[in-house]
Amino acid sequence: MHEYINRIGEKERMYVEEVLASDFSNSRGTNMLARFEKAFAEKFGMKYAIAHTNGTATLHSALYAAGVRAGDEVITTPLTMSATCMAILHADAVPVFADVVEYTFQIDPKSIEKLITPRTKAIMTVALYGLSPEMDEIMDIAKRHDLVVIEDDAQCFLGFYKGRIVGSIADFSSFSLQSTKHMTPGEGGLVCTNNASAADLIRRFSVLGYGSVSRAKGIITKDDIQNPNYERHVQMGYNYRMPELCAAVALGQLEHLDELVQRRVDVANLFLDSMAGCSWLKPQVTPSHSVNSYWSLAVRLVNADIEWTAFRKKYIELGGDGIYAAWMLSYLEPMFQKESRNFSGKERVIEATYKGEMQKWKTGLCPVAERIQPQILAFKTNYWDWERAKQQAEVLRKTIAFYGN
């Protein structure tokens, strides 16, 4: 059961060879992108999946398809990698930060509802560390206020919420295939939706605004480009299309995704066993109605007498591979601070279009997130060598013993 797992298997290599054998010729190509998109949509119970170059581009495309435009507000969480809120800025929109639930670390529906204004267009959730937020409450809020919901599921593959696979609940879901994620071709991402017209918008937006592409057609054909009267661009778009080689690897990864996710879950449980009985390490709570896919195992260090960096240092001294910190809250990053605010020119668009009073991006905005962010220890779960994982779990046990339960 717990033997060594090859993260990259024979299917990935076989599909890459198939693409290489085509010499990248569209006329005799492998149509790998379409094959991967179809398989991914089926795996996640969605009608359409549109592959992109990365998981930030996917969020940008989803925001566009959701109708988010310059000056609109999008409510999101500050406790995540800042690419989430940067995608909102890419759309010339204004990120509005909601607080989080202390024990799950997820965006708090009660905080979301308090922040809704006439300018709010969408809610962007994040399935942090592999766990879904309370999506039923969030979808109910969105329905009552006529808002679009976009799931950022970059860290959650094959997680479940009340029996539904994460990524199938909101209007749009975005997945990252960056190299640390549950499955990866090195880089990439997808947007999923059940809305056919929205899927067409996403495709055109992500493929330079070509009029002849659609939810089912990711490239233009020779019949298109060999026509001197072909009107190519019906709108402005971005060059976000996933390359065929990445699609080939991603398709192979998808075909053993269950195995890759299960390994992370098993490793997380191994670490949880090591910290059982420790009163000052508080794991992220997974509600009984959810299944956590454990992109990493996140716990809070709540003993004020143990300094975060000291704990990590001792863990490494005893043979640990290191421990990751939670990201600085997005609104506390230098780019958001009034004295040094730098949105790479986007601030001019926002200032010209925004009709409300900007949220005050400073300490005190999201008190729960601010309290727990410095406490979070994130342990790796991507150990393909089970013996290495067991060794790391034992190091954690020894580290806890050094400080005392």
Whole-model pTM: value is 0.97
- Dmax (CA) for the chain in angstroms is 76
Tokens of 403: 């400080």
| 8 A C-beta contact, residue 278 and residue 399 | no
Domain boundaries, the chain: 10-256
Whether 1 has a pLDDT exceeding 60, the answer reads: no
pLDDT recorded at residue 284: 98
208-259 pLDDT per residue, tens: 999 999 998 988 888 888 888 888 999 999 999 999 999 999 999 999 999 9
Strand, helix or coil at 203? helix
Q: What's the pLDDT score for residue 25?
A: 78
Q: Which backbone phi and psi does 126 adopt, to 5 degrees?
A: -135, 125
- CATH code for the part of the protein at 10-256: 3.40.640.10
pLDDT, the chain, mean:
96
Residues 166-223: pLDDT tens digits?
999 999 999 999 999 999 999 999 999 999 999 999 999 999 999 999 998 988 888 8
Active site residues: 181
359/387 Cα distance (integer angstroms): 49
pLDDT at 27 over 70: no
| Exposure string over 41-56, b if 16+ CB within 10 A, otherwise e | bebbebebbbbbbbbb
pLDDT at 28: 64
Q: What is the pLDDT of residues 241-251, one digit of tens each?
A: 999 999 999 99
